[in-house]
Amino acid sequence: MKKLIVLATLAALPAAAMADVVISGNLAVGITNTKTSGTGSVTTEDRTSGEIKFAGKEDLGNGLKSIWQIATKINLADSRDETAAEENAWGTRESFVGLQGDFGTVKLGNIYNLPTSGQLAIFEDLSATFDSAIYDTGTRVNNSVAYVTPSIAGFTATVQHSFGKSKDAEAAKEYAQTLSLAYEGEGFGVSYDGRRAKDATLDKTAKLHELNANVSLDALNLVAGYAHAKAANGDKRSGYGLSASYAMGNLTPKIGFWKEGDKKEADGDKIDDGHKAYAVGVEYALSKRTRAGAQISKVNYDADSTPSVRRAMVYLGTKF
């Protein structure tokens, strides 16, 4: 009976109310075996991808459109866990309202603050960069406004400002700004993301810079990435990496590498805490929407006292 009531209600809604709304998602779960040198291994099941998205737009006339999006992280493997329940909360991914026209796009809401970041992360999960403290650290930031220019001869720019973590007076002091520049050519692209964020406790600014470049040569796709970070306390760290994939029909082998340098403290001391990470895997397209795959990643730390970590995974996912 409840289903009939819902269907009848939807059928009664005006057609315009249901127009231009797109529902999409990406759901996947993997089984992972983690082995730390000197200890035994642990096998777990967890989300590798998980998001459901509602998006829409309305034509306001004269080339102007209103746009909106609500995206939510979904953890199918552990949705009843208290932590996972918080992750599954409504609108935890990029969610916004905005305007779009010949001038570009303006968005307000919970916005990903490094728009072109993370291109090295080509694996389903646990790419070679997964243990990095500096690469792809751009998260979705609340209380943000973003402006994206229209594409001009392949160039686009994004400027963002976050008003702080909340309306609380102290937290609001932790504002942040982002500048992103990108160029897309025929078979290649380059991008830069730069972010500065105020640390209210230290009353200083942390900075992060990331460069990415990608080249597509028929079935072969190559990505190079670099990141440099300066913490609010003056500590610095850099890293670089490469990844590659090659599509052979439904089968796509992948490899990845990342080297993270040692931390250089503000007083000049160097901390031996860098690492090298490797990843190799293969994905098989069961259909246009459904995929299955396997991958292995390993992290070797520079410090002899820090044990290496190896993770092996098999996964199944689908998009809609």
d(C-alpha 32, C-alpha 38), whole Å: 18
Note the pLDDT tens digit of each residue in 180-234. 999 999 999 999 999 999 988 888 999 999 999 999 999 999 999 999 999 999 9
Residue 1 included in any domain: no
- Amino acid at the residue 52: I
Residue 9 included in any domain: no
d(C-alpha 166, C-alpha 143), whole Å: 7
Residue 5 included in any domain: no
Q: Are 120 and 129 in contact (CB under 8 A)?
A: yes
Cα Rg of the chain (Å, integer)? 22
Note the pLDDT tens digit of each residue in 93-129. 899 999 999 999 999 999 988 899 999 999 999 999 9
d(C-alpha 143, C-alpha 173), whole Å: 12
Please report the DSSP string for 242-311 in residue order. Answer: EEEEE-BTTEEEEEEEEEEPPEE-TTS-EE---EEEEEEEEEEESSSSEEEEEEEEEEEESSTTSPPEEE
Q: What's the structural domain count of the chain? A: 1
Residue 159 included in any domain: yes
Residue 220 included in any domain: yes
What is residue 143's predicted lDDT score, i.e. its pLDDT? 87
Domain that holds residue 205: 21-319
- CATH number at 191 reads 2.40.160.10
Residue 240 included in any domain: yes
